[in-house]
Amino acid sequence: MMTAVLRVVDLEKSFLKGDKRVVALQGLNLDVEEGTFLTVLGRSGCGKSTMLNMMAGLLSPTSGRIEFRGRPVTGPNRDLAYLTQHDTLMPWRDLQHNIEMPLEVRGVGRAERAAVASELIERVGLGGFEKHYPRELSGGMRRRAGLARMLSAQPDTYLLDEPFGALDAQLRAELQADLLRLWYGSGKTVVFITHDLEEALLLGDRLIVLGPVGRVLLDQRIDLPRPRDLDQIRLEPNFVKLHKVTADALRAGSVQREEGAA
């Protein structure tokens, strides 16, 4: 019996816009089990980033709650690491010092910081770029740096918000493989948000499709073998079948939205 690391209960979030209340999420319930790679798929505006921001403790729910290991999330938590959609590397720090930053914040000594960062830089394939500033790195390298920084915090749960959305297809495939390689066998929990159907299927153990205001349209186990070869797996009959089921769910969601709007 697996235990839920993250538990979302009757979650609702709305924002005030002038004298209107815009509901981003409503009535969302979700349990994320320990060690699962959960992918969350949804079109833009379905509230998936809002959900992640609340899991990370950057936003607080309007009603309902999120629990992390049985405790309500009230603010950022060091056991949860969050890789946002946009780069948040510090432009004035070189690669090495960017990756050391989470350790620096929690007061880890200089020598240990340097050792951890060097090892991670090698693991994400950025060896030799330690002294480069973010603006001197390409988009893909900055993403790798972001991954390394997230790993250096040594959290047990990762939240990723469309981390590879802005990259070209080739680079995205490389980084997806990197992420799986870094994660596989670590036993860590991952919540990975994407609007790319294939990405959601390739990476996850479990896939959730979110519709308007965060309604769960599909909650599907992805029983594809691991470790996965991302080129081969697309050809498996099971992958093709899951692809169809998911695409249908997404389509049904958008039809509902149009009906709702009419």
Q: Which residues here bind another protein, judged by CB under 8 A?
A: 56-58, 75-78, 80-82, 84, 86-88, 90-93, 101-102, 104-106, 122-123, 125-129, 133-135, 137-138, 140-141, 153, 174, 177-178, 181, 227-229, 231-232
CB of 230 to another protein, least distance (A): 8
Q: Say if CB 102 and CB 153 are below 8 A apart.
A: yes
Nearer to another protein, 1 or 92 (CB): 92
Q: Say if CB 95 and CB 77 are below 8 A apart.
A: no
Nearer to another protein, 94 or 199 (CB): 94
CB of 161 to another protein, least distance (A): 11
CB of 152 to another protein, least distance (A): 10
CB of 24 to another protein, least distance (A): 18
CB of 229 to another protein, least distance (A): 4
Nearer to another protein, 129 or 256 (CB): 129
Give the tokens for residue 29.
Answer: 């319930």
